A and B are shown apart, each in its own frame.
Chain A
Amino acid sequence: DTEVTQTPKHLVMGMTNKKSLKCEQHMGHRAMYWYKQKAKKPPELMFVYSYEKLSINESVPSRFSPECPNSSLLNLHLHALQPEDSALYLCASSQEQKRGDISYEQYFGPGTRLTVT
């Protein structure tokens, strides 16, 4: 089973709203990722959690706040977003983040299509 689930599938929110995106995997993976993807563009890395600790923050604005409550769950809290934040938000997981020259393939969820009005 290589399934990563994400909820909700679609989300429309106003610029003053607070909402959360959720991601879950039950593969025992210890690294989880948030990506942002604009139409017809490759995904852009936002955050990486490794063993439930924030490992990488790609200088993402503070209106995006990640949280990893346990090894299976990853949340992305959204507050005071801008229309340009509208995009597909993808979650991914891998066995580990990376160890030396050993890479671990990342498995992606279906994404949450976010529209900020």
Chain B
Amino acid sequence: NAGVTQTPKFRILKIGQSMTLQCTQDMNHNYMYWYRQDPGMGLKLIYYSVGAGITDKGEVPNGYNVSRSTTEDFPLRLELAAPSQTSVYFCASSRVDGNQPQHFGDGTRLSIL
């Protein structure tokens, strides 16, 4: 069972470059999420989606964009990368019921130099 798959696992960007972090899930979950985790901190929600074509901002959306064209995929786009975006990024998915657990990927470790 693949679950939630994130690519790439590691990436180094230069300031001002852009990139897309990929996330796909094979559990047919309607809800998907992007979090970032800075060293020694808990996860913070960047964007989330309740279904294909529907996205909404979380706590820390500035500097990021998302799209949700299919149930399976939820890519996160960084435009004009900045050092403050150096972090570990986690994608997650869940079923609709509010008490269903979220399933997380293994993360993408991103460094902006």
Is B one of A's binding partners? no
Measuring CB to CB, which residues of chain A are less than 8 angstroms from any residue of chain B? none
